[in-house]
Amino acid sequence: MFKKKLSFVLVSLVLLLGILAACGDEGAEPTGDGEKVIKIGGLFDETGATGDVGAPYAEGERAYFEYINSKGGVNGYKVDFIGEDYAYDTSRAQQVYQSLRDRHEVAAVLGWGTADTEALRKQIINDKIPFFSASYSENLKDTGSESGYNYLTAASYSDQGRAILEWIEENHKGDSPAKVALVYHKGHPFSESPIQDIKDYATENLAGVVEITPDILIELGDTNPLTTLQTWEQNNEAPDYTIINYTWGQTRNVVRDATSLGWDDTQFMGLNWTAGEGLIPAGADNQQWVDALDGFIGVVTHAFPTEDLPGMEPIIEYLDSKGKTVEDINQKFVQGWATASIMAEAIGIAIDQTDGGDIKGTDIKAAIETIDNFDLQGLAADVSFAPDDHSGTDKIRLGQLKDGEWEIITEYFGISDK
């Protein structure tokens, strides 16, 4: 009887030690061959309201981790990238995030939308899980109690808008102030995010040079915005410039209908999710869109696949291994790839700082905040972070559509250059 009790106690101790060891290894775990794996979560919109840009972005993130794992991982750690499509549903994003945290015990997350990222801000602080979102909302710059685990990997929407205003100031012709209309979905977290900051910048820095007109309020789901534009036009003259903040589909709808109203002298411009190859859809009516969108200027935060840049070499190598070429991807793929590479850089630093130990969210956070001018080899502006600065960069380029092709018309610049 005594031997049976002793055996039971020994088995129980072994099980308990196993459980304690597992709890102390959150975010990284050894495989059967001694190789360590670090788990990173992904929140994607591949089928929801912003899936037109979200799907290629997610593809780029997945591709990067697949590529880096094929090269031996990050300092010997394989990256297990566990992602799910939440279809731009904030409540579903919460469920996916909780699964990534509790079931998969991820050490960091690559997220997507503004509404869901902002909704998770305090939760990820409590969970100590660093978060790179595809939202560039100015709100996520806060390094304190609101957004202390969020980091922006490209210029914020507000900084993009400020930079556009600076470009307008330098390029506007004539003696009258440049009339700029802001086109967005009022009440939508992503679309409205930079609006007040753009207005404030115009008032405080460009008074008498830039005049913000009454807003043009068009919902993202309104695929035929002609009526709204006609109503706005009854009380206003066509603007000299627009700053549009939508994704591809709604942007082209607005430009199409405004052009049909005779806004021929308006320079249509937009923030980063308006720019990219998908702004002009493929199909039988392709030429119609080429004509309607000719001259459109968009913020370019990340490179186009056709650009001859050092950072494109590993992408081309990856595509070759899949029997593909740069013609099979677009700029948003590059954007996802570049974002994942910044996370990999942080993981590598964390591994070095812990001398190859278990990597937790707090380790990745500390690593991110030591990144200084990380060179993305042309895929995007270099990024830097610090404990009191989570903004990454304020640098953008501008690109313009000419005969259906994007042409870069500026070098990287930002308001910090002023």
Per-residue pLDDT of 249-297, as tens digits, reads: 999 999 999 999 999 999 999 999 999 999 998 876 789 999 999 999 9
- Determine the structural domain holding residue 126 and report its residue range: 17-155+308-387
Residue 36 and residue 167 in one domain: no
Q: Using DSSP, state whether 78 is helix, strand or coil.
A: strand
Whether residue 11 is contained in a domain is answered as no
Whether residue 393 is contained in a domain is answered as no
Residue 170 and residue 150 in one domain: no
Whether residue 6 is contained in a domain is answered as no
- What is the four-CA torsion angle of 293, 300, 335, 280, rounded to 10 degrees? 10
Task: Please tell me the number of Cα atoms within 13 Å of 397 on its side-chain side.
Answer: 20
Query: pLDDT value at position 31?
Result: 53
H/E element, 6:
helix 2-23
Q: What is the CATH number of the domain that holds 221?
A: 3.40.50.2300
Give the Cα separation of 414 and 398 in Å (integer): 11
Average pLDDT for 109-117 = 97
Pairing of strands 241-244, 267-270: parallel
Q: What is the DSSP letter of 139?
A: G
Give the Cα separation of 303 and 143 in Å (integer): 28
- Torsion over CA: 233, 239, 245, 246 (sign): positive
Residue 137 and residue 172 in one domain: no
Identify the CA nearest to 264 among candidates 245, 236, 283, 292.
292
Based on the structure, what is the number of domains in the chain? 2
| pTM for this prediction | 0.91
| Amino acid residing at 188 | H
Residue 243 and residue 232 in one domain: yes
Whether residue 5 is contained in a domain is answered as no
Question: pLDDT tens digit string along 233-255?
Answer: 999 999 999 999 999 999 999 99
Question: Are 38 and 80 within 8 A, CB to CB?
Answer: yes
Residue 356 and residue 315 in one domain: yes
Residue 280 and residue 333 in one domain: no
Whether residue 3 is contained in a domain is answered as no
Give the Cα separation of 366 and 57 in Å (integer): 26
Task: Name the β-bridge partners of 406.
Answer: 401
Residue 185 and residue 60 in one domain: no
Q: Using DSSP, state whether 296 is helix, strand or coil.
A: coil
Residue 134 and residue 234 in one domain: no
Residue 209 and residue 72 in one domain: no
